[in-house]
Structure 1
């Protein structure tokens, strides 16, 4: 899902995708682009630095929170789901910023009478790997059945 028409290129080949703003890779790229002399950090390390008071890391986390909330807000307006399920790397750190996403979601969608409930995927941070495995099996099965 695109959240910025002229946004950064995404690994999928499109531009401005939600993942390119809210994902761990986006946070890691933002960290390195802020100062070329910085040591690379994982998204988890950036969250930790933000919690320890690092201003630059805090700004990166805030941007990821805003992008996450924007994506969920768009889904809420378009489809009015009762529940939104969060998976992948963001699920592993959800406790660190769920309140901020909830607040931003309410701010972005004040006219919605009911905000969606946000739940974590059963597989949490491994959801992406499980999904990739299922997609590979589906592709294999499609070839076998032809």
Structure 2
């Protein structure tokens, strides 16, 4: 279906990606530029405008009916503003208004990157066909989003489902958000790796001390690396179970760089979830890897911008 298209922007601290997406999730045109994250806000906006200029210059642009933005957060969808932690030049930046000007007044929808990933997984990924889902991004931070009653549930500001800041250790380490013992403080890639180092794990000759290196060590049988992943999995399981008890879920989908560890993460995660999700109405909750990969931000931005188009296709 090429008659009605959606333009999508995926804005993060490393890159600004843009695409034209059709009603079946096909990416027809794509472009990207590096994010000048250390520059002032207007310089960052010029990079966004550059991506949009490439999209609007193409022959398919007249078929675009709406624009979706998935942005690193925090976002405030109600006000159309963003304050990404990793883009210091944008604080309460009026992104929706600036994008609207660049796309001749077409409707613009803004969601956080966790909600965008959720929209993508519900439309084209592992949550497809499920009416109640939690989708998580476990990477440098831990974000997420919710599908409730068959619909994306971004909440008033676009941040609903932000599971990373559920506290699962009341006396735990202070989190950057100001609370203690948050899921993110335990399960994010940097904190997972730091815990392994503090416990005595040492990187190989290449000096790689990332979560991916800890995962490789865990796969090779290193007990300290395995213990670090086990603790991260317990924190994630506790957060998933708490969310399931609150809103009743059918499935939890986990993506992001840390999820790339595969069974090193998912085996203890499933085991821990059985220990935390014990009541009858959450006992059948399944947890699976995400499927949409690096296109999740673009697909999710498109889905969030054009719900009826995607819902029609999903029901087909």
* TM > 0.5: yes
Partner Cα separation in structure 2 for residue 84 and residue 109 of structure 1: 12
Q: How far off its partner does 1:40 sit? A: 5.4
| Residue 201 of structure 2 corresponds to residue 32 of structure 1 | no
- Give the equivalent residue in structure 1 for 2:285: 116
* Residues 59/96 of structure 1: CA separation in 2 closer, same or farther (3 Å cut): closer
Superposition deviation, residue 126 in structure 1: 7.2
How far does residue 6 in structure 1 lie from its aligned partner after superposition?
A: 2.8
Q: CA deviation at 1:26?
A: 1.5
Identify the structure with the greater helix proportion.
Answer: 1
Q: CA RMSD in A?
A: 2.9
Paired residues, number: 132
In the superposition, relative to structure 1, how do residues 125 and 65 fare at CA in structure 2: closer, same or farther (>3 Å)?
A: farther
By how many angstroms is 1:103 displaced?
2.1
Structure showing the higher strand proportion among its residues = 2
Under a length normalisation based on structure 1, what TM-score does the superposition of the two structures give?
Answer: 0.72
Matched, 1:65 2:223: no
Larger mean Cα displacement after TM superposition, 57-66 or 106-115: 106-115
Q: Whole-Å Cα distance in 2 between the matches of residues 126 and 5 of structure 1?
A: 36
Shift in Å, 1:90: 2.9
Deviation of residue 42 (structure 1)?
A: 0.9
Change (3 A) 1:36 1:76: closer
Q: Which SS does the other structure have where 1:84 is aligned? A: strand
Question: CA contact under 8 A between 1:76 and 1:115: conserved in structure 2?
Answer: no
- Report the CA distance between 1:106 and its aligned residue: 1.3
Shift of 1:41: 1.2
In 2, Cα distance between equivalents of 1:14 and 1:96 = 28
TM-score by length of 2: 0.37
Q: Specify every segment of 5 or more residues in structure 2 that has no aligned partner in the other structure, as ranges.
A: 1-165, 302-316
CA 125–67 in structure 1, closer or farther in 2 if over 3 Å, else same:
farther
Structure 1 residues 27 and 126: alpha-carbon distance in aligned structure 2, compared to 1, 3 A threshold: farther
